[in-house]
Amino acid sequence: MLDLKQIRQQFDQVQAALSRRGVYDLSELRDLDQQQRELEGQRSQLQARSNEIGKTVGQQMRNGADPNGPEIQALRDEGNQVKAELAELEPRERDIKAQIEALLLALPNLPSDTTPNGKDETENVEIRRWGDEYLPANSESLKPHWEVGEALGIFNFERATKIAQSRFVALMGLGAALERAIFTFMLDRHTAHGYTEVMPPYLVNTASLTGSGQLPKFSEESFRCDRDDLWLSPTAEVPVTNLHRDEILPAESLPLHYCSYTPCFRREAGSYGRDTRGLIRLHQFNKVEMYKFVHPDTSEAEHQALVQDAEAILQALKLPYRVIELCTGDLGFSAIKTYDLEVWMPSSNSYREISSCSNCGDFQARRANIRFKTTGQKGTQYVHTLNGSGLAVGRTMAAILENYQQPDGSVKVPEVLQPYLKREWL
């Protein structure tokens, strides 16, 4: 959530920053804020007058004034009028505050000054590539991962559709084992690098989705349990953000680094016709998430380290990839700056997203009320939050099946996964 005080005091700068992301007009918010402050001033004056009348009545009665006399009655009449005006004003003020809150919740984060300008994903900036030496030599003859997997009998889409609907998969035999090997390897790597593993609830409430920035904007993307105030989590970013909702953390406890393996659930609304086959765009998929609560002063350095931790997984698996910096037109709702890692997929002769590493500044912390306090100093500050996939497990499996497939239809298991899978070939 953006800071209303910042919008009020730096209106032109905030409007210009938002305009880098698209068309966002803050004039309605500014007008409502002005109305709310005027009403607040009127309310304060009325409350002060009401208190003054009460004190005057009490003082005059202590001085012997007739409780039923005209002076006391006049004060009481004025007091009743003031109370009537307050009763009329207060709901108007609450309504305007609710409108302001709704507008603020709908506004995306301000992009970093260093985030490149651009209208959409076509204007993202490639930063670097890694692993050209691992690119398959015979890419044109390689099969897409779903054909490889179905031939090996390791996943089944038809039976998953029978159980649920399209865009689900049933992992079978070595497919299930490979998935488990992948996310266990990822968790082992991240915990070895100082991340604390968390296994959160997979159902989250509305406050959690709002605090992390998914609601109200992305309600159509999520699956909701209609009988409860619960939703299927779209990403571990949601529950992990809310581990510390409404908390004041000691500054010396920062940074806090978490990693979490969870299933993720998304409707993929608006994506029909895209990636309808395979593991790239499912309604349910597994992901290992990295998440950081950090001091604002270390935010940028922590972001670069987060990207490197995601890259380290791909490098260990020897999967070719590139790093893309997202432009303002492709930036996620809560992010000020984002780097995407895109893994090489031979079947499409292209790089496909496998991790998105974002710095959200204090945007999520303000929504979820997560602050820190430095010992000996007055007041509190909002933490900065960062998140990144480390990695999307299904997409990692897809990349392995395509990049490690052999002419005879078998698939070589990456060396780092062989101890987990206890075999060299699929």
Q: Which residue has the tokens 């079947």?
A: 347
In this predicted structure, what is the pLDDT of residue 62?
Answer: 84
In this predicted structure, what is the pLDDT of residue 134?
Answer: 96
Which architecture, in CATH terms, is 121-421?
A: 2-Layer Sandwich (3.30)
Which amino acid, one-letter code, is at 74?
A: A
Q: Which residue has the tokens 């609710």?
A: 98
Q: Is the dihedral of CA 131, 137, 139, 144 positive or negative?
A: negative
* Residue 261 to residue 345: CA distance in whole angstroms: 24
pLDDT digits (tens, 9 = 90+) for 25-53: 999 999 999 999 999 999 999 999 989 98
Task: Give the chain's mean pLDDT.
Answer: 95
pLDDT, average across residues 362-389 = 97
Residue 275 has pLDDT above 80, yes or no: no
pLDDT digits (tens, 9 = 90+) for 290-331: 999 999 999 999 999 999 999 999 999 999 999 999 999 999
Local confidence band at 204 (pLDDT 50, 70, 90 cut-offs) = very high
pLDDT, average across residues 336-362 = 97
In this predicted structure, what is the pLDDT of residue 268?
Answer: 82
Decide: 236 and 291 in contact? Cβ < 8 Å: yes
DSSP-assigned states of every residue in 312-350: HHHHHHT--EEEEEPPGGG--TT-SEEEEEEEEEGGGTE
Residue 402 has pLDDT above 70, yes or no: yes
In this predicted structure, what is the pLDDT of residue 54?
Answer: 85
Residue 77 has pLDDT above 90, yes or no: no
In this structure, what are the phi and psi dihedrals at residue 125, rounded to the nearest 5 degrees?
A: -115, 125
In this predicted structure, what is the pLDDT of residue 272?
Answer: 60
Least confident of 269-278, 299-308, 327-336: 269-278
Residue 269 has pLDDT above 70, yes or no: no
Measure Cα distances from 415 to 143, 231, 408, 423 in Å.
22, 38, 20, 10
| Residues acting as catalytic residues | 266, 281, 353, 356, 395
In this predicted structure, what is the pLDDT of residue 140?
Answer: 75
pLDDT digits (tens, 9 = 90+) for 111-129: 999 999 999 999 999 999 9
In this predicted structure, what is the pLDDT of residue 385?
Answer: 98
Residue 79 has pLDDT above 80, yes or no: yes
In this predicted structure, what is the pLDDT of residue 252?
Answer: 97
Least confident of 125-134, 176-185, 269-278: 269-278
Residue 270 has pLDDT above 70, yes or no: no
Residue 273 has pLDDT above 70, yes or no: no
Q: Domain residues of the chain, as ranges?
A: 27-106, 121-421
Beta bridge partners of 256: 293
Beta bridge partners of 388: 290, 357
Q: pTM for the complete prediction?
A: 0.93
In this predicted structure, what is the pLDDT of residue 27?
Answer: 96
Q: Which long-range contacts (CB under 8 A, 24 or more apart) does 29-32 make?
A: 29/100, 29/103, 29/104, 29/107, 32/96, 32/99, 32/100, 32/103
Q: Percent of the chain having pLDDT more than 90?
A: 87
* Residue 151 to residue 138: CA distance in whole angstroms: 19
In this predicted structure, what is the pLDDT of residue 387?
Answer: 98
In this predicted structure, what is the pLDDT of residue 8?
Answer: 96
Closest Cα to residue 289, out of 381, 355, 245? 355
Residue 284 has pLDDT above 70, yes or no: yes
